[in-house]
Structure formats: structure tokens, C-alpha cells
Amino acid sequence: MSSRKSIQKKPNAFIGDTFRASDAELLKSGILSDVMVICGDQTWNLHKTVICYRCPFFEKAFLGKFSEARDGTVTINGEDPVLVGWAITWLYSGASSEWNSESGIGVSKLVDFFQLVDYLDIDQLKTIIVSQIESVLLKAARDVQANNNDASNLVEPFLNDFFYAANTAYNTGSTAFWALRQPLVDFAANTRFSVCKNPSIWKRLEETPGLGTDILRRLITNGGNADEDGSLLVLTQTPAKCVRCKKERDFYPFTWLKDVDTSRGARRLALVGNCDTCHQAHLERAKESN
């Protein structure tokens, strides 16, 4: 099968908790395999009962009216065999150790993996990949905050990765890639928008104006933070401790100015904020109340 051809979309019925240890063993041994997948110089002996249930692409190929169904062989052209191997491993075991955010993987590789998985039509895996992209960018934002919100030390490889993701998210025709946009905007907000002061980033934003628009929209709709009367502020400093748990933290995704009383009865504005843990708990409670 040629790469990147669109296929008939339908909801994925697969739920991740159906992974079994025996499936992983089947992939490892190849015993009782009844189909073959080829990509580049790699070949996998697989099982229709596993991959067709969990991947609409393979279901259509091996159970449909294509020649691949008769031959029992699918060739995936123009793709990276490593990425295909990751997808197959996940289909059998749910394993992500080779490409999760703890592995040191870059954003561009995860975006390439997302594109392949979109082609294979594995919705649940796409959601997981977006989560890993969020984690990689969150770590980078933490580093910027730890550096007094100075984004000037962001290295060129990271910026190349970031704008590769931006180009894919904003300049690719398919709406499937819109899922990649939010992590990029969140990254800018989590650096207190200091990343936008980087001259090289300004220049690259001209190539992806959609990202610049979304960052601006985030800024004017509480993407900066607001004081208590709703006036917009961009707070580039971070508090000494979390206003909720009272603990000193190194990352504050949400900050604002609070009107407080001083010991002499005067009033002043104090910089306060929620640490990541407290902010996530607040979002969960808000979601439940809705």
C-alpha cells in the first residue's frame, strides 16, 4: 500500500486496557502469525486477530477486498521502519518506552510518529503522542521559568523541532493535525510569553502566522494573567511559593496579582500563583463541576 492515502474513517473501538502479556509474546515469537507487514528493510510477522481489531488501517487492508487481503502481505512505502515498529509494538503491548517523553525524544520525531499513526488511523495512540509532546514542551517551559523566564538560551535544535511541529500543525491540510496546536500555544504561555521576545522566534512566526494568532488570542483571553478586576497583565516573574499548597515550587503555570492588606493597614498588589500540581487539581475540579 502506498503511504499517506486517505482511508475511510470510522470510530476506533479499541480500548487500551485490553492489552495482554500474551499478545506481546506473540509479536516477539511470531508464532501462529497469519499476515506480514513490510516497511523498508524491516518485516513483521503479525496476527490479524490483534492488529485488525486495534488498527482500522490493517483491518481494511487484511479483511477488505484489496490484494493485500488475498496475499496476507502489506507493504508500507515511504515511511520510517523505526516508527512503524513503534506503532506495531504499541498495538501488541501498549509499550511506549522508546518514544515517551522520558526517553529524551525530540518533538519533531513525535510529530513524524503522529503523522504515521494518523495514516494508520489509531486514534488512541494519537492522543497518547500528543500527551508526550505536551510533556516535552512542558519540560522546556519549566527550564525557561527556572532561568528567570529568559528564553534566549533555547538552542537551535529545539527551535527547529518546535517550528517543525508548528508547520505541521498549521500548514497541513488535514484537521487531524490541529491536535498538535494546543501544546505549542501552551508552551508559549507557560514561559510567561517570554519566548516571544526571542528575535529568531519572531522571524519564524512569519512562516506560521496561525501560531502567532493563537498565541495572541491566548494572551488576550487570560493567556497572560489578569488581576482581580480582569485587567490584562503579562507577569514574567514567578511567586515565592504556591498560593494554595504554600510550598516553594520551580514552575507556576498560572499567576496573578492579588490585592492584599499589609501590616500597617495599607493595601498592595502581591504576585501569587498556582503550582503545576494545584493548577491541575483546580482544572479537574472545574471539569467535574461542569
User: What's the average pLDDT block by block, 10 residues per block, for the chain (290 residues)?
Assistant: 47 54 84 94 94 94 90 95 96 88 88 97 95 94 84 84 96 91 93 83 88 88 51 68 90 80 68 88 82
Level-2 CATH architecture, domain 1-95 = 2-Layer Sandwich (3.30)
Q: What's the predicted TM-score (pTM) here?
A: 0.77
Is residue 19 within 8 A of residue 96, CB to CB? The reply is no
HSE, side-chain direction, 13 A CA sphere, residue 94: 10
Give the list of residues 6+ apart from residue 248 with CB closer than 8 angstroms, or none.
240, 241, 242
Note the helical H segments in the chain.
Answer: 21-29, 48-54, 56-63, 67-71, 81-93, 107-120, 123-146, 156-171, 181-190, 199-205, 209-218, 276-289
pLDDT value of residue 46: 95
Nearest to 248 by CA among 228, 278, 270: 278
Tell me, what amino acid is at 126?
A: K
Among residues 260, 256, 254, the alpha carbon closest in space to that of 274 is found at 254
- C-alpha–C-alpha distance, residues 211 and 208, integer Å: 6
- Beta strand pairing call for 73-75 and 35-39: parallel
Given this model, what pLDDT does residue 167 score?
Answer: 95
Predicted pLDDT at 230: 47
pLDDT at 207: 87
**Segments making up each domain of the chain, as ranges:** 1-95, 102-222, 225-289
Beta bridge mates, 44: 37
Q: Cβ distance 130 to 179 under 8 Å?
A: yes
Predicted confidence at residue 44, as pLDDT, reads: 96
- Cell 511506549 belongs to which residue? 96
